[in-house]
Structure 1
Amino acid sequence: MSIVITIADPADPPVRAMVEALDAYLAALYPAESNHLLDIEIMRQPQMRFFAAFEAEQVHAIGGCWLHADYAEVKRVFVTPAARGRGLARRMMQRIEAEAIASGHTVLRLETGIHQPESLGLYRSLGYAGRGAFGDYPADDPNSVFMEKLLA
C-alpha cells in the first residue's frame, strides 16, 4: 500500500494523536520555554496549511506550512518512529515547499532544536541554511536553530 500526503484537519483524532506525540517528544528534549508549538486551533486557521501522510487509515507523518505576509514557515514536521527511514520527512518537506510556492511565497523559514540531528541533517540536505531568529522567536534561546531556504 502506498502513502498519500493530503491536507488534514489537525483536530481529527488520528492527526491530533500525532500532534500530541510530537508535543510529548519535544517536551522530553527541551524546556517549556524552548518549545514554540502552535496549538490545534491555530493550526486550523486559514493562514495554515496542515498535512498528514496516510497509509490506509494510519497516519505516519504530519507537517504544516504557516503562511505569513512575507514568508512561509515550516511547522510541526514529525514522523512516527515506526515509519522512519522511508523518506516521509523529505516527502512532507517537499509538499510543504510546494504549498509555499503555490501560495506565492519565495522564502521558507523554520525553527528547530539543537537536539534533533536528524532534522538538522534533513533540512541542510534540502538546501536550508542558518539564519538569525525571525518572527516572535526569542533570539537568545540556546536550544533553537533557525534556518531558511529561497524557493524557486
Structure 2
Amino acid sequence: MTRTDPLSPDALRLIEGSEAEQSALYPPEDRFAFSPQQLVDEEVRFFVARVKGRALGCCGYAVYEGYAELKRLFAEPEARGTGVAAALIETIEDAARAEGVHLMRLETGQLSPAAIGFYTRHGYIRRGPFGDYPENPSSVFMEKPL
C-alpha cells in the first residue's frame, strides 16, 4: 500500500472503474463519491494497492471534526476475494488512527450488498446520515470506532 496522488494515472484508472460500477447501479443524484479533483481539494489521504507492480485497488479517507470518512474503496474485479480490499481498509484505518482519529464513517448504496457485507465483516455498523448527506433511501450509512 502506498499513499498516492489521486490524479496519478493508476489512481485515475481505478477511480474510473469505481465510477463505472456505481453509474451502472445508481442515478447521478444517488452517487456521492468524490471526484478525483475533490479527492485532492479535500486533502484526502489516498492509497493504491499494488500486486506485482500492478495497481489493483484504491481507498482514501477525509478527516473532519470528530471523525474520518472512508472514500472510494475499490478493488479491480480480478482482485476481489484476494485480500486487497481488506488490506486497503486496514491501511486507512491504521493511518487515521495514527492521526488521532477515533471514528471512521462511510456512505455506500443499498444496491451494493457485497460492499455492505464487506464493511459489516470489518466491524462497521449502520447509522443515520452524517455530515452533508441528505436522507436518501438508496444510501446506507455506517461507522466503526477505531
Partner of residue 150, structure 1: 145
Once residues 50 and 41 of structure 2 are traced to their aligned partners in structure 1, the CA distance between those partners, rounded to angstroms, is: 22
Residue 56 of structure 1, CA deviation: 3.4
* Structure 1 ranges of 4+ moved more than 2 A: none
Does residue 62 of structure 2 align to residue 60 of structure 1?
no
Does residue 129 of structure 2 align to residue 133 of structure 1?
yes
Does residue 126 of structure 2 align to residue 122 of structure 1?
no
Residue 47 of structure 1, CA deviation: 3.2
Partner of residue 101, structure 2: 105
Does residue 20 of structure 2 align to residue 24 of structure 1?
yes
Q: Give SS of 1:11's match.
A: coil
Q: How many residues align?
A: 146
Once residues 62 and 112 of structure 1 are traced to their aligned partners in structure 2, the CA distance between those partners, rounded to angstroms, is: 16
Once residues 36 and 26 of structure 1 are traced to their aligned partners in structure 2, the CA distance between those partners, rounded to angstroms, is: 10
Once residues 82 and 62 of structure 1 are traced to their aligned partners in structure 2, the CA distance between those partners, rounded to angstroms, is: 14
Aligned residues: CA RMSD = 1.1
Partner of residue 74, structure 1: 70
TM-score (normalised: structure 1): 0.92
Residue 46 of structure 1, CA deviation: 6.4
Deviating more after overlay: 142-151 vs 51-60? 51-60
Once residues 42 and 105 of structure 2 are traced to their aligned partners in structure 1, the CA distance between those partners, rounded to angstroms, is: 19
Q: Give the partner amino acid of 2:29.
A: E
Residue 117 of structure 1, CA deviation: 1.2
Residue number among 19, 33, 50 corresponding to 1:37 in the alignment: 33
Identity of aligned residues (%): 40
Deviation by residue 1:112-137 (Cα, 9 ceiling, x = unmatched): 01111111111111111110000111
Q: Is there any run of 5+ residues in structure 1 with no aligned partner, and where?
A: none
Once residues 86 and 113 of structure 1 are traced to their aligned partners in structure 2, the CA distance between those partners, rounded to angstroms, is: 23
Q: Give SS of 2:21's match.
A: helix
Deviation by residue 1:53-112 (Cα, 9 ceiling, x = unmatched): 012331100000111121100010000001111011111110111111011111100000
**For the Cα contact (< 8 Å) 1:65–1:99, is it kept in 2?**
no
TM-score (normalised: structure 2): 0.95
Q: Is there any run of 5+ residues in structure 2 with no aligned partner, and where?
A: none
Residue number among 81, 84, 87 corresponding to 2:83 in the alignment: 87
